[in-house]
């Protein structure tokens, strides 16, 4: 069987570091879904952020293990987890502590039907891009700059998929596993 050059086929099981990354994410998701008050969650996220960033940085500074994203070292796992905790703590602060949720509506619509969006992107992306190119012609995509053409195509395709997701949200249609 001939495989395209951009595909990588491996028979390896997931690495322990990728499993550790997933476990950090599951732990964080469990915390966010739990019952404690928003301020307590924020404190726990801040503590986890500082602990992960500091331990990752310290292991790198002491030359025990270096932070290398490309080969996904154990210290990179700690350090990147700390960065993710930092982002989640900031979003938790804005959304849950200060109760400023208005700006998150578009992301929530996409998140509620994320499985449908994923399936659309995997199955319909080439057809949607081709269909958008037909009425808009190549001049529309090349008008900004040839370098921006892929960005413009991806943005318009993503807006089409989000529109379908929004329609599904308005009709109370939710795809779940």
7 or 29, greater pLDDT? 29
Domain boundaries, the chain: 16-100, 106-170
Predicted confidence at residue 6, as pLDDT, reads 45
* Spatial CB neighbours of 93, under 8 Å, sequence gap ≥ 6: 42
Greatest mean pLDDT among 29-33, 100-104, 144-148, 161-165 lies in 161-165
Contact at 8 Å (CB) between 75 and 65? Answer: yes
Query: In terms of C-beta distances under 8 Å and separation of at least 24 residues, what long-range contacts does 158-163 make, across chains too?
Result: 160/128, 160/132, 161/117, 161/120, 161/121, 161/124, 161/128, 162/106, 162/109, 162/110, 162/117
Give the confidence band of 54 by pLDDT, cuts at 50, 70, 90: very high
Give the confidence band of 1 by pLDDT, cuts at 50, 70, 90: very low
Calculate what percentage of the chain has a pLDDT beyond 90. Answer: 28
The model's pLDDT over 112-171, given as tens digits with 9 standing for 90+, comes to 999 999 999 999 988 888 887 776 666 666 666 666 777 888 888 999 999 999 999 999
């Amino acid at each position: 069987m001939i495989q395209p050059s951009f595909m990588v086929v491996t028979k390896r099981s997931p690495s322990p570091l990728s499993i550790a990354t997933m476990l950090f994410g599951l732990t964080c998701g469990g915390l966010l879904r739990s019952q404690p008050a928003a301020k307590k969650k924020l404190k726990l996220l801040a503590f986890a952020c500082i602990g992960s960033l500091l331990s990752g940085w310290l292991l790198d500074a002491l030359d025990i293990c270096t932070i290398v994203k490309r080969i996904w070292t154990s210290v990179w796992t700690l350090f990147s987890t700390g960065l993710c905790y930092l982002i989640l703590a900031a979003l938790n602060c804005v959304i849950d502590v200060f109760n400023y949720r208005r700006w998150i509506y578009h992301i929530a619509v996409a998140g509620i039907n994320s499985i449908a969006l994923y399936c659309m992107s995997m199955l319909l992306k080439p057809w949607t891009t081709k269909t958008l190119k037909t009425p808009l012609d190549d001049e529309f995509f090349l008008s900004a700059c040839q370098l921006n053409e892929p960005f413009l195509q991806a943005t318009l395709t993503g807006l089409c998929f989000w529109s379908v997701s929004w329609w599904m949200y308005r009709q109370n249609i939710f795809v779940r596993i």
